[in-house]
Amino acid sequence: MRMKQTYFLHDVPEAVLRDAPRQREQSDTIFKGPRRFKRWPNIPIRVIASADDRFFPLDFQRRVARDRLDGEVEGAPLRVVSGGHLVALSNPTELVERLV
């Protein structure tokens, strides 16, 4: 639990943690291979990254976004939001504002 608290839950409010459902096992399907489509769809692409993610630091998130986009989407802006690894739990308001 200590590693989970240190890296994933460090900024999640106690009330959210107290009311949270039991955690499920994570599927590794998404990490098994590269994207399989020939090109990105013709829609705007945005990247949102958490500024204080202790598990995936911001520089790493930038590099992964750039690598995954393969330079196909010129100037896809990176939007940085305050929060840690579980920003949807720790800072949902700012995350939703960026998504909208």
Q: Consecutive 10-residue runs of the chain (100 residues): their mean pLDDT?
A: 64 78 74 73 82 90 81 67 90 90
pLDDT at 86: 86
Count CB atoms within 10 A of the CB of residue 24.
6
pLDDT at 3: 56
Verdict on whether the full-model pTM lies above 0.95: no
pLDDT at 11: 80
pLDDT at 45: 75
